[in-house]
Structures are given as structure tokens and as C-alpha cells.
Structure 1
Amino acid sequence: MEPVLTGRRGRFLNTLSGRFLILTVAFVMLAEVLIFVPSIARFRVDFMALRLEKAQIASLAQLAASDMVTPELEAELLANAEVYNVVLRRDEVRQLVLSSELPAPVTATYDLRDAGPWELIRDALICLVDPSDDIIRVIGNPVQEAGLLIEITMDSAPMRDAMLDYGLRILLLSALISVVTAFLLFLAVQRLIVLPIRRVAQHMAAYAEAPEDARRVIAPMAQVEELREAEEAMQAMQRQLTGSLKQKERLAQLGGAVAKISHDLRNILTSAQLFADRLEGSADPMVARSAPKLVGSISRAVALCESTLKFGKAEEAAPVIRPVDLVALVSDVAEAEGLAEDGDVACLIEVADDFRILADPEQLYRVLSNLVRNARQAIESSGAGGTIEISASQTADEWRIRVGDTGPGLPEKAREHLFEAFQGGARKGGIGLGLAIAAELVRGHGGRLDLARSDAEGTEFLIHLPKSSVAA
């Protein structure tokens, strides 16, 4: 049973309410301690001032009837004043008015006439921690200006006992005030802070169960301004997320339908492509001239269907990292695209012969092939020649591969969703898969593909491949 209670206590102390309760008690007790120290010093001064006042009354009685006071009456006056000796100075004359034998020598003298607050606090704390019963001398001013000075000797033990009793009562009162204050603040925090936070947490849990349900979006109700701002921000986020989820769901359904249509359409187009191939051997000159265009159109349609199916089928495999000779890889890409330094579309490779990087050569080939093909098609679409430049550099943290061209640049609409599938086609008639796949392959290496520049003078892409991701 005890471990269960200990576990519950530990959970409570880890809550906002529990920690606030502990902090409240601690701070209230600290405040009470700061009040207790000067108050106990004030109590000690009042205690000694009361002894001085009693001793003054006894001494005045002795002076009023000096011939009639017997030794027994003098001892009774000293006992009532709880002192051993009383010295009164009047008119510059120091007079021992009442006296008795001291049980021990005087160990300390305290002058209350000009003592400062820090001195009084120090003496009070010393008195509390010193358990010995000493004889002390106390000097003060007489009340009602009945003299210049009054001096008494007394025991310190009764004063220490009275101070301990007073301090205990103060501590008990402080503890009671702390508990009541902490309980009231605990209720206030529960009402104003903890319950609204718990309500937000419950809304978050309920929303997480069905984020597409718009009825579960939180409605701001907190009275505290900061909490209300948090609820309003969460409401905006949940509404945006719900809308995005609905849009993603529609796109997923649309993608499934497109995949089914593309599969069936590919089969139909493949059959049409077989018939079109036969038309190329026709003796009719008109048919012979039209057949290549028909075959090209059908081939592009088949390629579109296959690209769509391939993109939606699965994610790209993880890259297999190994050393890559970048010059040889770039040369293979340029040769595969039919580029030469003296052609209409020239390819300039500015990569050092010993430049090597760590990457997946097959995936990097696809990325560069995509970028180079797009650059070549952009230049060809302009109807004039141009140049494709491929260069590489490195820093302490990454390798950089630059692919630039002197084509007409990308249209503004294409730049907005350049790396999004089916939305960021870089050329007219493109479906926007090439750059999306290229960006995904580069991200698989831990890097990124950026559009560095695109204007009337050409387009430039920059591949960042980090060295840290392959350091192990």
C-alpha cells in the first residue's frame, strides 16, 4: 500500500498544482522568516525595556521612602522587578538604588539607547542559540524623563525562554498562514490555470483521435489572456490541419483513380502503338508521313502513364553510398543526352579530374540526367542554340554540384510549385514528376535541391550533398 501512496504523491508533486503548492508554502515561509527575525529582536528589546520600567518603579519607591524600606522589602521590590541591582543616574549623580548579591559575574552589557537594528538582530539570534544562564547588564533611558540613565542586572535565561515561546507561537502562526494561503492559491490556480490547460489537453487528445472531424476543433473559452491566445492559435492550426487533411484525402482518392485510369489507358495505348508501328510501312505517302507523329504522340502518352504509375507505386529505395567519380558520371549523362561541346546545345563540364564524392551513383545519375534533360529541352524550345554548364565545388561541410543553362528561364507559375509532383512542370507539356523525383532523391542523401536562379539569361540549379551524413 505504501508504494502506491508514494507513487501517487510523486505524481502529484510533478503536476503544475503540486509544484505551485510547494512553491507557495516555501515562499510564504520564507517571507515569515524574514518577518520573524526582526520581530524576535523587537520582542527582546521590549522584554528588557519592561524590566527597566519595573526596576525604575521599584527604585522610585525606594527613593520616596528610603528610611522606611527594610531589607526584606528591598528584596521583594527586586524580586517583583526580576532584577538583581538597579542603578539610577539623576543630576549627573550615579546612585545604586536597589542592590542584592549577584550569583555570578556579569558576562555582557547591552546599551539600548543607541543600538542599531543589525546589532539588535545579532544579539537576539545569539541569545536564542546560547542556552547558558548568564548575568547581563542592561542600560536604557528612564521613562517619563525620570533621570538620565537607568541600569539593571538580570538573568538571561527567562528572557531566552520568553523569546523561544514567542518564536514558537510566531512559527505556528506562520505555518497556519502558509497552509491557508497555499490552499487558497491552489484553488485559484486550479480554477484559473490548471483547469483551462487540462481542457486544452483534453481537446488536443480528442482532436488527435479524429482530426478530420471539424466539430472537434477547440473553441477558445479561457479567461486568462495568455491561455486564450494559445487556444486561438490552436484553433487556427486545427482548422488549417483539418482542411489540409481533407484536401490530402481528396488528392489520395484522385491519385488512386488516376492510377487505375493510367493502368487501363497504358494497355489501350500499347495496343494502339502496335498498330501505329505497322502504319509506318504503308505505301501511302500521306500515311507514311503522319505515322511517325502518331507513334511519337502515343509513345509520350504511354510514358506519361508509366511515370504516373511508377511515382504512386512506392517510395525510392535508400541510397547505397560509395565513392563516385563525378567527371565520369557527368560525362555519361551528357553522352546519354546526345550533348557535345560543338553541338547546337553545347555541354561544358567544369569538374576537376580528381573530384570524388560519396553518393549513390545510380540515383545521382538520375538527378543529373533529369536536370540536364530539362535544360536541353528548354534551350531547344527557344529555337536557338545554347550552353549547359555543369560544375562542382566543395566546402568543409558539403559538396555542391551546379547545373546551369542559357535557356529562356522558367515561367513564374512553374517556380511556385517547382518540386511538387504533377504541379511543378518546368516545360510546356511536362507533368512535373522529374524535378519532384530528383528533389526526393537528393533529400534521401540528406541534402537539398535548390533553384539558385531563373531569369531571361537562363536557369541554374544547385545540388547540396552534406559530408556529415556519410562520415560514419
Structure 2
Amino acid sequence: MDLASHRFMSYFEPEQAAHLCQIAILESCDEETLVFEEGETADCLYLVLSGEVEFSKRLENNQYQTIAVAKADAYFGELGVLDGEPRSARAVAVAGSTFAKIDREELIKTLQSAKGSAVLEMFSFIIQKLRDTTDQYVGQFVHKQKMVLVGEMVSTIIHDFKSPFTGIKLSSEMLKEMHPDEESQEWCELIQLQVQRMLGMAEEVLEFSRGHSVLHKKPVNLIQTLQQFEKLNRVYFQAAKVDMVIRVTEVIVEADENKILRVLQNLVGNAVEAFGGRGGLVEIAVTQSEEWAEISIYDNGPGIPEEIKEKLFEPFVTYGKRTGTGLGTAIAKSIVDAHKGEITYESEEQKGTTFYIRLPKIMALAEQV
């Protein structure tokens, strides 16, 4: 946007606004840029013209917690300019952002000669921003407390389940020895795989609650991964009256196969639940581009409700379910992000949903040299 049309300029008389535009210094960010650090001297007011600026507070472990975001037509740094105190947070502009800087002394002079309405407008903006920041902080605090509770609960579950899971595994091994026929062997192997899978799912929720995903990467052929996924869910799909169609080309990715199975399970499981027992169609296709393996997961269900579309990948977001934690899509995204991949979706009411997952391919040796 043009500097003269920024909301801050509308507070002043034309001559004052023109003066501020004249003395303002424009800056553009081709990459992520530190605007100022927490504790620095407040020497300028900043007007965001495009992009956005994130504000964060330093935590004890030398990490940063985001507390607010300023987008185009907003401004920031006004508290330090007005009271002369150091910056209360860190400000970082995302790549592609543009903002204007107005020197503190010049701004104070202009404010001193401005009409009272300019001060009231500025005061109103500050109050609203403080309200928004408080709401965001409270939301983050509640989220953190929820994740702590989830972590404690899952730790208890893992501890309590290890003993019965060991019993189930030993029992299935004994049955394999007692019944060497092919069908019994296959069912016993499935029992053992499902037990390992349940423990793995619990571990992944625990990792997510701690804010990181531990990967054990190796070359993975997605054909074999999809075959394993279909085998693990064959009975589940039959009971839910779901037709599963898998179309896959041979693509090798460097990934944690168990984690990729978890992503598939979360997304397909959501689709099956959305069918509401009426059955439906799920299609999984794997294609590739020069650098990416691309997985699409389509279902012909009712689509994702408008109420949760914008927050679909956030934790504890759910709609119309009697069960579930609302962590499925959030965990899926965290796993894809940990693989340096991308996940997006398209959804239309009563026509279905398609998730798109992109994972980096393992390039041929000749291409790597």
C-alpha cells in the first residue's frame, strides 16, 4: 500500500501527514529481517505497508514465543516512542515485507501540534492491540497447559499398556508356532504389527506434546509403504464399508516410514469418520515431479466444515465429533514439516476433500554428484 494512504496518516491534518510522509524512511525486506531486539532503545515508529511483522518474547531456554503479528495498514513501536522505555519485545519482518520508519523526535513534535482526535485515534489503536495481544497470549498459555496434560496422560498410557501389549505379542508368537498354516501366520503377524503400531501412535502423540518430532530416516519406497498401509487397514475399511483405491508409481524418499504411515492414518481416519458409517470412497495416489514425491488423498465425504477450515492444522480443532482430540491433522502437519515437506488441502461441501503432501525425493546418484 502507499504510505500516504496508511491509516496512521489519516489521524493528521494534510500538511502534518505530508510532513510525516516526507521524513519517513522506507525499507523493504527480501528475506526475514530483524527490525529490533527486545530491550533496544525505542527511536522510531514503524508503519507496515505490506507483508507482516511478528513480535516475540525471549524465553528461559533462549527460544522465542510469538505474542502478536502486525499486518499491512498496522503500525508498531508506538509504546516505546511515547514513554521512552526500551523495546518490550523482538520484532521480525517476514520476507517480502515493506515498512516505513518515522523518527521519534519528529513524531513527538507532530503529535504535540496535532488535534486531540489524532491522539484519541492512536490511543484507541493501542488499546485494541493490547486486547488482541492479551487474547493471543492467553490462548497460547491455555494451549501449553493442554499439551502438558496430553503429555502426562500419554506417558501414563504408554507405561500401563506395555505389560498387556507384551502379553498380546507373546501370545501371538505362541499361536504362530502352534498353527503353521498360512492364514494363521498372516493373522498373527497382523496382531503383532497392530500392537507395535499402537505403541508408535502413543509415542508420536507424546513427541508432539513436547513440541518436536523425532525422525529415523531411511530410503523408503512409497509403493511398499502404501501396501503396508492397506494391509494394516484392510479389516477396518471392510467394517466401515469404505472402498480404498491406491494408485502409486515407484518413488523413493528419505523418510521415517512409521511417521508417514501415521500421517496417512490420521488423514484417512478422519475421512472414514466423516462418512458417518454410510461408507464411501478413498483414493490415494502417488506421483512425482523433479524434486518432490507427491501424495494426494481424496475422499468423497461431506467436506471440511467452514467453521474449522482456517484452523484445520492447529491442535485441538475438531467439529461435530463425539470422540477424538483434534490432534490428528496437527500431528500430520508436524510430521510433514519435520521431513521438510508441505501439506495443503482443497475441500468442497458435499463433494469431498483432497489433501496434498509433498516430500523431498532421493535424487539419483548421478544427479547428486
Q: TM-score, normalised by structure 1?
A: 0.40
Which structure has more RCO (C-alpha within 8 Å, separation ≥ 6)?
A: 2
Q: Which has the higher strand share?
A: 2
Higher helix share: 1
TM-score, normalised via structure 2 length = 0.49
